[in-house]
Amino acid sequence: MSLLVVGLSHRSAPVSVLERAALAPEARGKLLQDALAAEPAAEAAVLSTCNRIELYADVDKFHAGVAELSTQLAVHSGVELDELTPYLYVHYEDRAVHHLFSVACGLDSMVVGEGQILGQIKDALALGQELHTAGRLLNDLFQQALRVGKRAHSETGIDRAGQSLVTFGLAELATAEGAAQVTDWAAGKRALVIGAGSMSSLAAATLARAGVREIAVANRTLERAERLAAGLAEQRTAAAAAAGSTAGPAARAVPMESVLGELALADVVVSCTGATGLVLTADDLQDALAARTGPASPAAGPGLRLLDLAMPRDIDPAAHRVRGVRLVDIETLAEASADAPMAADVDRVRTIVSEEVAAFGAAQRAAHITPTVVALRTMAADVVRSEMARLNGRLPGLDDKERAEITQTVRRVVDKLLHAPTVRVKQLAGEPGGAGYADALRELFDLDPKAVAAVSRADSGDSERERA
């Protein structure tokens, strides 16, 4: 295993750099394909979120791997390598595994303990599988990371240590206006959600639970906005039926061209799109506030609360200077979360991560020697067949029963001779520094490297079919 990760996150880079380096969805696939086209990567996967961009790869050369992955990140992010390099971090082998498992548990998130990262890791794996850039190592790694993240959330109270960015952002808006709970602050407000992706969907659902009275969903593809609005309507009906209470907020879809008009109606706006430019400018916000003050405006008041979760940002940062507007964005959240208290359960999660890293490393090292053990046993079986063929030529008078008994006896002798060393070598290979045992076994028994490689290819193919 030669796992390498090169990346940058809110911990290593300012938001301004993260914003410029953000990868559009279509750029992620091209990054993976180019990373594989250039040596030394044999597998690749990219984890790209609003506060991190990380490229994972199975490489055969460390320094060449770091140089190539760094270059690819610079090329596809559009940030010059010299400017990007000071903010990049590098993790290798067990440290890379530890990093991803920590990320999956929410320990490395802007809001410690948030669970949305699991969905983003799942998406990263799905893209690697779809493009066939994720092979055995990265499939095993990302699938195990998902299991470790779920284990952390189920066995500890890490959920109490943090929230999703959506919940944390809304809590920041509520606190700024003196509300103790988001539900107290959101009750009766009109909401506008811009975008219909996973983050926007989470925002819409969170606002609905918080008690807003209406949600308008805008998206460049109106059909996606309609699907999200329809889902909210179904949840509203189901919740009302279960509780025997008044229905939740009304939900409707609107085209992106109507966003500026919707601003005049909204009290709170959450935006998270994949746009490369600003969706809302400071002038747009000033115009919306001016429209809200007119006698025909049904809005509750002149204030406008904005939560921008996009990277690069959707809302002009100059909105901070617009009177009547309160903006919380990724930069604001980064500053606020730096002082957020960490739950005692974080220590338990760190212990889980350490345990899982050790187990994953042992499993990978043990798996590395399996093809060699299989090749050894195959060679032994070939020797048995060859010697039995010679015996048949020298003792043609043996009947079938005698021949079968001799064959079985020889096989038992060979199996007993191989049992202890093969079991022991698997145990030793699972320990740190055990990778050399496969080489020793091949050397001692003069195994054909091509035979070992053939076993590895067949085993990999079986694993791919099982995943399919």
Q: Which of 41, 44, 50, 288 is catalytic?
A: 50
What residues pair up with 91 in beta bridges, in sequence order? 5
Active site residue 50: yes
Show the 3-state SS of the chain. CCEEEEEEECCCCCHHHHHHHCCCHHHHHHHHHHHHHCCCEEEEEEEEECCEEEEEEEECCHHHHHHHHHHHHHHHHCCCHHHHHHHCEEEECHHHHHHHHHHHCCCCCCCCCCCHHHHHHHHHHHHHHHCCCCCHHHHHHHHHHHHHHHHHHHHCCHHHHCCCHHHHHHHHHHHHCCCCCHHHHHCCCEEEEECCCHHHHHHHHHHHHHCCCEEEEEECCHHHHHHHHHHHHHHHHHHHHHHCCCCCCEEEEEEHHHHHHHHCCCCEEEECCCCCCCCECHHHHHHHHHHHCCCCCCCCCCCEEEEECCCCCCECHHHHHCCCEEEECHHHHHHHHCCCCCCCHHHHHHHHHHHHHHHHHHHHHHHHHHHHHHHHHHHHHHHHHHHHHHHHHHCCCCCHHHHHHHHHHHHHHHHHHHHHHHHHHHHHHCCCCCCHHHHHHHHHCCCCHHHHHHHHHHHHHHHHHHHC
Residue type, 449: P
| Residues with catalytic roles | 50
